[in-house]
Structure 1
């Protein structure tokens, strides 16, 4: 699945980052990109968020560019790849930024581990559902 759905995975990485940034950073205000390291420096956190969103935009554009260079994907393979890419984003960000580096947590406070584990569980679920959807699309 990875070779065929590679462009969709890249697109999903960018979309997953945008969803995280828009929902957790902006709408809910739970954290900013560097809030675990610099909790009181809002200007630095805003620049970090901006660079993060710029990276997400680059991933989306690269994913779209790769999709345009390849044969059209069946819808289930495309959306399965997007979901799996979003899940990979959650798993990588959740393990590296949240757990290993402590750059930020999904939501700091007494239940931060539960929020972080929920983020990882959502990532795993997205990878599994996306993989199953893409596999079903290849068979169809």
Structure 2
């Protein structure tokens, strides 16, 4: 989730300047909210890295599981942001001054595709792990 949050924050907030994390106040509050989002996402990235490294060190996380979790996190963040932040809470829109319908569709469908890929990889990893385990 932190990787997609970082991508969103860097691309849409900083490079394109389409929105801030919280756009229902002044520009200063919007910039502050972007900074807080960036801080949270960096902390989550570091924590995720260490948790993942620990699981791999203990031998309880395979690469296939890690890839599945990566795509699940990407899709979950994208859909949460698109549905909850954009539509339910209305803290910001993807872009202002244009019809947001195609942007909303692209945002949410891409999140759904990432989530489906993550689910497919999860099933594939579980099947692969199931075939490796000896039967009793």
Report the TM-score range of the alignment, normalised by the length of the smaller protein. Answer: 0.7 to 0.9
C-alpha distance in 2 between matches for 1:74 and 1:80: 10
Q: What's the CA shift for 1:98? A: 0.2
Q: Give per-residue Cα distances to partners, 1:119-138, cap 9 Å, x unaligned.
A: 11111110101121232233
Task: Tell which has more relative contact order, 1 or 2 (C-alpha 8 A, sep 6+).
Answer: 1
Q: Which residue of 2 aligns with 1:59?
A: 44
Cα RMSD of the aligned pairs, angstroms, is 1.6
1:120 aligns with 2:108: yes
Larger radius of gyration: 2
Instruction: Give yes or no for the alignment of 1:100 onto 2:81.
Output: no
Pairs within 5 Å for 1:1-140: 13-35=1-23, 37-38=24-25, 41-70=26-55, 71=59, 73-140=61-128
Residues 48-107 of structure 1: per-residue CA shift (max 9 Å, x gap)? 100001111122122122213323532222122111101100111111110011111111
Q: Is the 8 A contact 1:76 1:137 kept in 2?
A: yes
Give the Cα–Cα distance (whole angstroms) in 2 for the partners of residues 48 and 56 of structure 1: 12
Instruction: Report how many residues are paired.
Output: 125
Structure 1 stretches of 4+ with a deviation exceeding 2 A read 71-76, 137-140
Is the 1:32–1:104 Cα contact (8 Å) retained in structure 2? yes
Specify every segment of 5 or more residues in structure 2 that has no aligned partner in the other structure, as ranges: 129-136
CA distance in 2, matches of 1:72, 1:119: 33
TM-score, normalised relative to structure 1: 0.80
